Every structure is written in structure tokens, then in C-alpha cells.
Amino acid sequence: MDPDHETLTIGIDLGATSVRVAAYSPPAGLLETSAFLTRISAGPLAIVDDICRNVCRLLEIHGRTRPCAGIGVGSPGPLELPAGRLHAPPNLPGWNNFPLLDELQSRLPHPISLDGDARVAALAEYALGSGKEFAVDSLCMLTLGTGVGSGIILNGRIWHGASGMAAESGHLTIDPEGPPCGCGNAGCLEAYASGTAIAKAAERLFAGGLSPSAHLDPASPLTAANLALAARAGDPHARGVYAAAGRALGIALADLINMLNLPLYVVGGGVAQSWDLLSAPLFAELHRRSYVYRLTTSGGAALQAIPGGTRVMPARLGPEAGLLGACILPLHVPPAVGPEPSGACQASRQSALH
């Protein structure tokens, strides 16, 4: 029997709204997933309690017959590595300087690999999604959600940079005079192409006097998903907001392609489900701004090294990418040199005292 059949990993996808914890085995995939709301107001230690309680339960059930190879965590940033410490994450108030890796490792009995949420999603897309499908060794993934995250896989490994803060492509400047961004800059990609930015752009239009057309239900909240429905039904303003997001994506991707010359760029996250609305302006910008793209895409003169050309496409894995990436992280990235695992599973600090 393939030894992988017996291997178990635990994945933790820590989000500002909810947390998902899963047991995973390479041949079977996700064995069991539990999800719960992130109790932001209760503080980080209470959330770590919730996480550890779920991890211990999954280890108890699935760890009886399979040795656990490690626990992977995808965390919002800014995240300092290898320390595993968060620095003022915008959507997790009260977590500034929180030593997430140390707190988890002091209560859980297996080595923990911790990484940024967008980077573990990129790892999943590389190992299990489009990267596997096209057999590439490198890719860049943009994840369009509440914000815009990204991850770069170079030669089969996550690119971290010196402090674990590499690949913040969501904060590439698209327009120096553009709308403000939560990072302190103005006109970032995130200020155009995140779900939040798309909804805000529509709000600005309508606050400026434009009337929503019959395609926008006034009783529905002005979300990126509702705006996409209106755009597909023909609402010109909704189409304009998505066109601006697609243009911003194309400008950012042109820079990334010129800089990295990778074989594959994928766009994931909820907003990527509106690829039909984003893709025309996106590809127009790529052709206009990236000579590396023109030379290495279909019909280009330099295709030899990239069979099939530079690919830019929606991610293959859906909303599970972040959780799957956390699950496979221990199989790809050894745990950071840090605290020793706890001797036993401790579901809470209170139980650690007994």
C-alpha cells in the first residue's frame, strides 16, 4: 500500500468571518471539515481555543489509524515569518503582535506549518489545480475577495521574501491618484478589484447622481455578486465597474508578467466567478502593456520555452483552495524552527492547567 494512504494532516483556514478546520489525507482528500464563526469580540485566545478544540476532535477521530504528518495554517496578514506573528491585520482587531504560531504550537501535539492565506491558496492551485493540470513548476495566483491577496510559487516552492511578506500584489499601484486603500497607499489593485472595492465603486456612482437601472433590485444590498447579476442583465454602470476592475487586474498582471515571466497566472476568490465580465478589459491591458505577454502568448514569437504560451485564467479550485492549501502545507513546507509541539492535545488554556 502507498504509505500516503496512511498519512493524515490537519488544515486550519483562519478567516475574519469564519474558521474552517479539516482532516485530510493525500489520496482521499478532505476527510472531515468543521466550520465555526470567528469570535472576534472574544479576542484571539478564545479563537485559538475554538481552533484547538476542533483540531483535537479531528485528531481523536482520524488520527487513530493514520499518523499525523503535521498541521497547516493559512492566516490573514500581515504575517511575519518565521516567527508566525501577526502585525495589525486589518480584519482582525486585537490581533496586533499576536504570536499565533507559539500559541497554537503550545497546545497541539504535532508540528505546525503556518503561512499566509493567499499563499496557501496558491500552493493548493499549484499542487492540486491548474498547476497540476498544466504540469508547471511556477505560478502566481491573485485571490479576489474582501481584499486582494496573492501568492507566488517559484520552482515548486512558496516565495516568502525576507520577512514572509512577499507577493503583496494587491497593493501594486494602478493609479497614483486612485481611491484610498486600507494599506495607506492610494489606487492599489485592491482598491479596484476586491469585492469590497467593486461594491464601493458602485456606491460612489449612485451617490454621485446616477440612477440604478431596473436590473439592480433596490431592496438587495449593493454587493459585488448582485452587481455582477445586474451587469450580465445589461446595466451599463455595473458593467463599467467590472470593466474598471478588469482593467486594473490587467495592468497589475502585465507588471507581474513583465517581472516574473512565469508560465501560469491564475485569478481566484469570489470575484473571479465574474471572469466573463473581467476578461475582455483584462486581456486588452495585457496585450497593450506587456511585451513579455505578447511574445509568449498564442501567436507570439517566443513560445518555445512555454508550450501553450503564458496562461492567464480563472483558478480551477473554488472556495476550498485556502483550506486545501492549509491541509497540504505540512507536506510541502517543513514547519518553521520554533517552539516544540505540546506533549498532548490541549483544547484550551484551561485544560492545559489540569
In the complex with Zn ion, the residue whose CB is nearer, 169 or 274, is: 169
In the complex with Zn ion, the residue whose CB is nearer, 191 or 323, is: 191
The CA-atom distances, in angstroms, between 241 and each of 60, 180, 245, 280, 288 are: 49, 17, 6, 13, 20
Which listed residue (106, 185, 223, 351) binds Zn ion by CB under 5 A?
185
Does the protein bind Zn ion through residue 165 (CB under 5 A)?
no
In the complex with Zn ion, the residue whose CB is nearer, 47 or 189, is: 189
Does the protein bind Zn ion through residue 188 (CB under 5 A)?
yes
CB of 189 to Zn ion, least distance (A): 8
Does the protein bind Zn ion through residue 171 (CB under 5 A)?
yes
Instruction: Report the distance separating Cα 15 and Cα 326, nearest Å.
Output: 12
Which listed residue (55, 120, 181, 202) binds Zn ion by CB under 5 A?
181
Binding residues for Zn ion, rule CB under 5 A, total: 5
What radius of gyration, in Å, describes the C-alpha atoms of the chain? Answer: 21
Collect contacts of 79-88 with beta carbons under 8 A, ≥24 apart: 79/114, 79/115, 79/116, 79/164, 79/165, 80/163, 80/164, 80/165, 81/114, 81/115, 81/160, 81/163, 81/164, 81/336, 82/164, 82/336, 82/337, 82/338, 83/336, 83/338, 84/112, 84/114, 84/336, 84/338
Of 39-47, 181-189, 202-210, 227-235, which segment contacts Zn ion by CB under 5 A? 181-189
Of 183-191, 256-264, 307-315, 332-340, which segment contacts Zn ion by CB under 5 A? 183-191
Which listed residue (183, 205, 295, 302) binds Zn ion by CB under 5 A?
183
CB of 248 to Zn ion, least distance (A): 12
Of 20-28, 45-53, 166-174, 314-322, which segment contacts Zn ion by CB under 5 A? 166-174
Q: How remote is the C-alpha of 39 from its chain's centroid?
A: 21
CA angle, 146 as apex, 144 and 148 as ends, to 5°?
Answer: 40
Positions touching Zn ion (CB under 5 A) are 171, 181, 183, 185, 188
